[in-house]
Chains A and B, each alone.
Chain A
Amino acid sequence: MIYLDHAATAPPDPRVADAMLPHLTGRVGNPSEPHAAGRRARADLEAARAGIGALLGHERVVLTSGGTEADNLAVLGRAAGAPGRMVISALEHPAVLRPAEALAARGWELAVAPVLADGRIDVAALAELVRSGDALCCAMGASNITGVVQPIAAIAELCAERGVPLHVDHVQTAAGADASIAGLPGCVTIAVAAHKLGGPRGVGALVGAVDGLAPLAYGGGQEAGLRPGTEDVVGAVGLAAALALRQGPAAGDERARRAALRDALEARLGLPVAGGSAPRLPGHLLLLTGFRGDTAVRLLDDRGVCVAAGSACASGEPAPEPALLAMGLDAAAARGAVRVTLGPETTQADIDGFADAWAAVAADLARAREALA
C-alpha cells in the first residue's frame, strides 16, 4: 500500500510510540492526587506541557481531545457574553466554521474574509473587515485542502493593531512548517493535533493567550478550568514527542526532502495544481485532475494508493470543496480535486508508485469518458 494521505492522518511514528510506552504500561497515578504516584504523573504531564509550550512559543497550553476541540474552545470560548462580531477566513476547516456558524445562528455577526486566486487569504480585504471590538478573528495557518501557508504574521499584526484576538488553526501547519507563535504581536491562540504529526489520535492542544476564554465543559477544574477531566498524561507525552520531531531543530532537513519529492512528482504529472504559485506545506499537492476526484480516489485505492478527494457527494448533492470555490475555481474544476500529501516516511518508490497508478487511472477515466460520446 502506498499511503499519501498524511494531511488526513499521519502513520504513527515509532519514536513517538517509544516515548509513550512507559506511560501506557506500568505508570499509574492521577495528576491531581498529592501522593507519590500522582506527583509523578503530574511531573510527567507538566514536562510534556513545557515541551509543547517551548516548541510552539507560548507557556500556556490547554490539552484537548484534538484539533476540533481546541478550535471549538477558541471560538466558542470567546462567545460566552452577549452576541458580538467575529471574522473568519473563507478557508476555515469545519472545526472553526461550524462553531462560528452556530454563533451566527445565535445572533452573532459573522464576516467572512475572501481568498486570493493563489489560495492565500486576502489580507487587504481582511484588514477592512476586522474592526476594533470584534470578539475574534480566525485565520487558518495552512489550508488543509491546498496546503497553502497563510500570511499569519501580517494577519496577527493587523489584529493586534485593532486589539482583536486571533485564533490560528495550525493543525496542518504543525506537520510541515513553523507553527510557533513566539514573536507574534497581540493576543493569539493556536490549535494543534498530535495525529497529523505521527502522534496518537485523540490529543491536541490550544496554545497561547487562553486567559479570558470560557470553558466548553465544567468539572474538576483541570487545565486551569478550561478543560476539566482527568488529564491524559500519555496523550500529552505523545503530542510533545510528535511535535519535537516536526517542530524541533531537525525538522528543516526533512521538510526540504519532502518538498523535493513533491516538486518532482508535480513536474512529472504536469497537472494543474491549486495554490501552486503560493508558498505551500512541503508535502502537500492538490491536483486538479479534470476528472471526478472522488472516482479517481476510489480507482487509486483499487490500485493500492491512498489519497484524498477534494470534494465528495453527500446524498446525491454535489459538495465541491468551499475552500476551492473561494479561490475562484468553478464547481467542475473543484470536483476534480485530488489531494496528495506526503510525510516523513514517504519514499521515492512511493512517488513512483503513485505516478504509475495515476497514469493508469487517468487512462481508465479518459476511456470511461470517451465511451459517453
Chain B
Amino acid sequence: MIDLARVGAISDPDGDGRAGGGACDDRIRVTLRLAGERLAEVRFGADACASATAAMARLAALAEGRTLLDAARLGRADVGDVDSPACALTAVDALHAALGDAVVRGAGAAPDATRVGVAMSGGVDSALVLAEAVDEGRAALGLTLRLWIDPAAPAPERACCAPDSVRRARDLCHALGVPHLMLDLREPFRAAVVDPFVAGYAAGETPNPCATCNGAFRFDALDGVATRLGCTEWRTGHYARLVERDGRFLVARGADPLKDQSAMLALVDPGILGRVRLPLGDRVKAAVVGDARGRGLAAADAPESQEVCFLGGGALAPFLARQGVALGAGPIVDEEGAVLGAHAGAVAYTPGQRRGLGVSRGTEPLHVLRVEPATNTVVVGRLSRLGRRAVPLRDVVVHAPAERVEACFRVRAEPIPGVLEPDGRGGAVVRLVRDAYQAAPGQVCVLYDGDCVVAAGVVAG
C-alpha cells in the first residue's frame, strides 16, 4: 500500500529538498515544517517509479513527528520492501536533501555535551573517526558538505562530494545508528572557491583551492552547522595535529609524513580550532586503513580523493574550458622571445612545470618560468631562472608570532628557513636563506615554526 496522505507541498517550508533526474528521470521533492526541533509536517511530490514512490511515502510517514536529528537516521534500511532498492535511494536522497536544507536555513538542536559532529567524506579516514567516536559513547552526528557536481567531468563520481560519496557517508553513519546530514552548499562553494580558482588560472596564477576551501569556506561552514546542531566539538579525518600554544590552537604537521595535511589547513581561522578535533593527526594512513578493515567498515577500500576534488577525475585544461576560460593555441618562447614550440592554452601551465612542454633547447631541461595570459604565451627557461630569495605575499594571516620560519610552497616540498617581514597592510615578504624555485604566483606559502603553522599567505608575484 502506497500511503498518499503526505502528498503535497508545504508553502514557505522550513526545509525543501529535491532528488532524482538520473537515467530513469525519477523526480521527488520533500518539504518540511518544523515545530521546535520536531518535523511537524513532511510532504512530498513525486513523478517517479513505483519503488521510489512507495519508499518516499514510507519515509515521509516515518519522519513526521521525529526530531530533525532522529529523522536524519532514516536511510536505505527504512524504505520497506520495494522491487528496486536502487530506485528507493532517490527517496532517501530527497528526504535528506530537505533535512539538510532545513539546517542550511537555520534549523538546529539544543546543545548536548555528549554530541560530536564528524565531517564525513565517504572515505576511510572520516569513517574511522566516526566509528571511534561511537565507541567512546558519544552521540555522533555525521555531516557531509555537498560542494560540487560537474556532470560533464570525465569521472564526476571522483569529486569528493559526488552523490555516491554522499550516499556512502550516509550509509556509514546509518550502519552505526548515527544520524547523517548532507548540506548542499554548492552555490556558496562556487562563489568562494571555484570562481576564484578559475579567475586565478585565467590571470596566469596557480591557485591552491584546498587551502582556500578549508580556510575560507569549509571549516567555517562545518563549525557553524555543528554548533547550531548542538555539538560541543566536531572532528575531521585530516592528517594534522592541533597544538595549544599561548592559549590558542595551532595546526601542526601530522605524524604520517606522506599524508601530512597541515598545509591544507593553514588558512583555517584559529578561533574555531578550539572546537575541532583531528583524531588522525597522530596516526599513519596504513594503520588507519588496517583499523578500518579490522572493524569491517565499508569505506575501508573506498577510492582515495587526492586531486582537487572538483576536477572530477579530469585534467585541468578541460575543466577550465568547461568553466568558460578561453583556451587557445599559442607560442612557447624562451626569455629572448625565440619560439620553441606551441601549447594549447597558456593558462593551464604553471611556473616550474617541466613535463608536457614538448620543447627543447640543446640538452638543458626547460621549465615554465611564467605564463602571460594577455598574449597567451608560455615563457620557458632554465630552472635556475626561477630561483629567488625574497617572495612577496598577499592576504597574509599570522596565527602566532615567530621570529624564524620555514617556508613551504608545495605540499611535501623541502621547507626553506627564513624570516617573515609583514608590511602592516596585509602583505609581507618572506626572505629565505636559499633560493625557492617553486614559488608560483597564486600558490599558498605556508610558514612553519617547527611543526606548527604560524602564518600563511598567497604568493603575490
Chain A residues in the interface with B (C-beta under 8 A): 291-292, 294-295, 297-299, 302, 309, 312-318, 332, 335, 364, 367-373
- Cβ-defined contact, A372 with B51, below 8 A: no
Establish whether residues A371 and B83, one from each chain, have CB atoms under 8 Å apart when the complex forms: no
**Cα-based distance from A371 to B46 in the complex (angstroms):** 7
Residue of chain B at shortest CB distance from A316:
B86
CA distance A197 to B50 in the complex (A): 30
- The interface residues of chain B, by DSSP majority, are classed as mixed
Task: Enumerate chain A residues within 8 angstroms of B238, measured Cβ to Cβ.
Answer: none
User: How far does the alpha carbon of A176 sit from the alpha carbon of B457 in the complex, in Å?
Assistant: 82
Sampled A-B contacts (29; CB under 8 Å): A292-B50, A295-B53, A298-B2, A298-B54, A299-B2, A299-B4, A312-B49, A312-B50, A313-B24, A313-B49, A313-B51, A313-B87, A316-B22, A316-B84, A316-B86, A317-B23, A317-B24, A335-B24, A335-B49, A367-B4, A368-B45, A368-B46, A368-B47, A370-B45, A371-B9, A372-B29, A372-B46, A372-B47, A373-B45
Q: Tell me the smallest distance from the CB of B17 to a CB of chain A, in Å.
A: 12
A298 and B28 CA atoms in complex are apart in Å by 17
Check if B83 sits within 8 Å of A369, measured CB to CB. no
Contacts of B89 in A (CB 8 A): 316
**CB-contact partner of B49 in A292, A364, A369, under 8 A:** A292
Nearest-neighbor residue (CB-CB) of B28 within chain A: A372
Taken together as a complex, chains A and B put the C-alpha atoms of A297 and B1 apart, in Å, by: 11
- Which of A291, A295, A364 has the largest count of B CB atoms less than 10 A from its CB? A295
Identify which of B44, B49, B54 gathers the most chain A CB atoms within 10 Å of its CB: B49
Alpha-carbon separation in the docked complex, A370 to B29 (Å):
10
Q: Does B399 contact A (CB under 8 A)?
A: no
How far apart are B161's CB and chain A's nearest CB, in angstroms?
Answer: 21
> Residues of B contacting A317 with CB < 8 Å?
23-24, 86
B9: A residues at CB distance < 8 A: 370-373
Taken residue by residue from 20 to 60, chain B's Cβ proximity to chain A (1 for < 8 Å, 0 otherwise) reads as: 00111101110000000000000111111111011000000
| B: interface residue count bin | 20 to 34
Q: How far is the CA of A292 from the CA of B28 in the complex (A)?
A: 13
B8 within 8 A of A: yes
A297: which B residues are within 8 A, CB to CB? 50
B2 and A371 contacting across the interface, CB-CB below 8 Å: no
Using CB atoms, name the residue of chain B closest to A302.
B1
Cβ of B297 within 8 Å of any chain A Cβ, yes or no, is: no
Contacts of B25 in A (CB 8 A): 318, 332
> Given A317-B23, A318-B23, A364-B7, are A298 and B86 neighbors across the interface (CB < 8 Å)?
no
| Interchain CB contact under 8 A, A364 and B4 | yes
Q: Which of B43-96 contact A (CB under 8 A)?
A: 43-51, 53-54, 83-87, 89
Contacts of B28 in A (CB 8 A): 372
Inter-chain contacts of B53 with A (CB < 8 A): 292, 295, 298, 368
Chain B contacts for A312, CB-based, 8 A: 49-50, 83
Contacts of A298 on B, CB cut-off 8 Å? 2, 50, 53-54
Additional pairs, 4, CB under 8 Å, beyond known A318-B23, A373-B45: A316-B86, A335-B49, A368-B4, A372-B46
CA distance A57 to B50 in the complex (A): 44
With CB as the reference atom, state the residue of chain B lying closest to A314: B84
Rounded to whole angstroms, the CA-CA distance of A236 and B37 in the bound complex is: 68
List of A residues within 8 angstroms of B7 by Cβ: 364, 367-368, 371
A371 to chain B: closest residue by CB: B45
Residue of B1, B43, B50 near A294 (CB, 8 A) is: B50
Q: Give the residue name and chain of the A residue nearest to B57 (CB).
A: A368
Known: A313-B87, A367-B7, A372-B27. A318 touches B46 (CB 8 A): no
Residue of B nearest to A370 (CB): B45
B49 partner residues in chain A, CB cutoff 8 A: 292, 294-295, 312-313, 318, 335
- Closest approach, in angstroms, between the C-beta of B349 and any C-beta of chain A? 42
Contact status B47-A313, CB under 8 Å: no
- A371 and B24 in contact (CB under 8 A), knowing A292-B49, A297-B50, A302-B2? no
B45-A369 in contact (CB<8A): yes
What are the residues of chain A within 8 A of B84 when measuring CB–CB?
Answer: 313-316
A372-B83 CB under 8 A given contacts A292-B53, A295-B50, A318-B24: no
CA–CA, A305 and B9, complex, Å: 28
Query: Inside 8 A of B18's CB, which chain A residues have their CB?
Result: 372
Q: Tell me whether A292 and B47 are in contact in the complex, defined as CB-CB below 8 angstroms, given that A332-B25, A368-B4, A368-B7 are known contacts.
A: yes
The residue among B50, B53, B86 with the most chain A CB atoms within 10 A of its own CB is: B50
Min CB–CB distance B20 → chain A (angstroms): 9
Query: CA of A109 to CA of B7 in the docked complex: distance in angstroms?
Result: 51
Please give me the residue from chain B that is nearest to A317 by CB atom.
B23
CB distance from A275 to the nearest CB of B (A): 24
Chain B residues with CB below 8 A from A372, complex form: 9, 18, 27-29, 45-47
Which residues of B are found within 8 Å of A292, using beta-carbon distances?
47-50, 53
Q: 1/0 per position for B313-347, CB-CB distance to A under 8 A?
A: 00000000000000000000000000000000000
**Contacting pair B50 A371 (CB below 8 A):** no
Shortest distance in angstroms between B56's beta carbon and chain A's nearest beta carbon? Answer: 9
Residues of B within 8 A of A335 (CB): 24, 49
B27 touches A315 (CB 8 A): no
Give the distance in Å from the alpha carbon of A287 to the alpha carbon of B23 in the complex. 23
- What are the 4 closest A-B residue pairs judged by CB atoms, nearest first? A371-B45, A316-B86, A318-B24, A372-B45
The answer on a CB contact under 8 Å between B1 and A369 is no
Chain B residues positioned under 8 Å from A368 (CB to CB): 4, 7, 44-47, 53
A291 to B50 Cα, complex, angstroms: 11
B51 neighbours in A (Cβ, 8 Å): 313
Within 8 A of A (CB), among B2-21: 2, 4, 7-9, 18
Q: How far is the CA of A294 from the CA of B52 in the complex (A)?
A: 11
Residue of A whose beta carbon sits closest to that of B22: A316
Question: Given the complex of chains A and B, what is the CA–CA distance between A302 and B53 in angstroms?
Answer: 13
- Which chain B residue has the least Cβ–Cβ distance from A361? B4
Smallest CB separation, A340 vs chain B (Å): 17
Inside 8 A of A318's CB, which chain B residues have their CB?
Answer: 23-25, 49
Q: What are the residues of chain B within 8 A of A295 when measuring CB–CB?
A: 2, 46, 48-50, 53
Q: How far is the CA of A104 from the CA of B373 in the complex (A)?
A: 57
A293 to B4, CA, bound (A): 17
Per a CB cutoff under 8 Å, which of B2, B23, B46 touches A369?
A: B46
Q: Which residues of A contact B43 (CB under 8 A)?
A: 371
